[in-house]
Each structure stands twice: as structure tokens, then as C-alpha cells.
Amino acid sequence: MAKGVLKWLLFSISAILIVVGVLFIISSYAETIRFAEGLVFIAVALFIAYFARERKDIEIKQEVRITASAKVKELRCPNCSALLDAQKTQIVYGKPYITCDYCSNKFEVTEEPTW
């Protein structure tokens, strides 16, 4: 979530809190309450470290399988019959859509039934 300087600042705070927490636990032989305080410091440190970690982007790949014998077909706009650029296909909610360059008509690309 957090990036760059903020991330390292949060990790540094987290590391300092862990050291303080461990020191409190070590010194708990003198005062028992310090053991609990030390655990609280470590818990807060882990909480900060958890939110400071960087999340990786999720890549979604969609594979299109052609089920029937394929025929090369020109893709034309159903509104103005202009030739469409298949490279401009966008996947919206899992369905392929093309926007016409000429009339700005946006429509779903569907597969003809194979029967």
C-alpha cells in the first residue's frame, strides 16, 4: 500500500517498536506488567508492518479459444459499417467491446453460433 519513503519510515517505526517491545519483555522480571506492554508494542509494530508492505499488481490473462473452424472476417461497425481495428478491443466485465473510431458506437463483440 505505502510506497517509497513512507514505506521505509513505517518499517523503521515498526522495527523500533519491536526492539522496544523486546526490551520491555526482557525487563519484565522487574515489573510483570512490562511483559504485557512489550507484547502491545510488538503487536502494534506487526500491524504497521502489515499495512506498510507493498502489494503486487494482479495480472489477469484471458485466453480466447476458437471452438469452430475459424474464418477470417472483417469486423465492421453495426451502426455505420466502418472497418474496425480489432487491436482496440477492450474487455469490460469479461466481455470484449469495441468502440467505433467514426461514430463512437460501443458494442459487444459476439461469436456467431456454431450450429
In the complex, least distance from residue 14 CB atom to Zn ion, rounded to whole angstroms? 55
Angstrom CA distances, 65 to 55, 68, 89, 92, stand at 31, 9, 16, 18
The residues facing 99 across adjacent strands are 106
Q: Which is nearer to Zn ion, 43 or 75 (CB)?
A: 75
Q: Which is nearer to Zn ion, 47 or 102 (CB)?
A: 102
In the complex, least distance from residue 74 CB atom to Zn ion, rounded to whole angstroms? 13
Q: Which is nearer to Zn ion, 42 or 77 (CB)?
A: 77
| Residues binding Zn ion (CB under 5 A) | 77, 79-80, 82, 100, 102-103, 105
Give start and end residues of each alpha helix (H) in the chain.
Answer: 4-26, 33-52
Instruction: Determine contact, residues 37/24, Cβ cutoff 8 Å.
Output: yes
In the complex, least distance from residue 55 CB atom to Zn ion, rounded to whole angstroms? 40
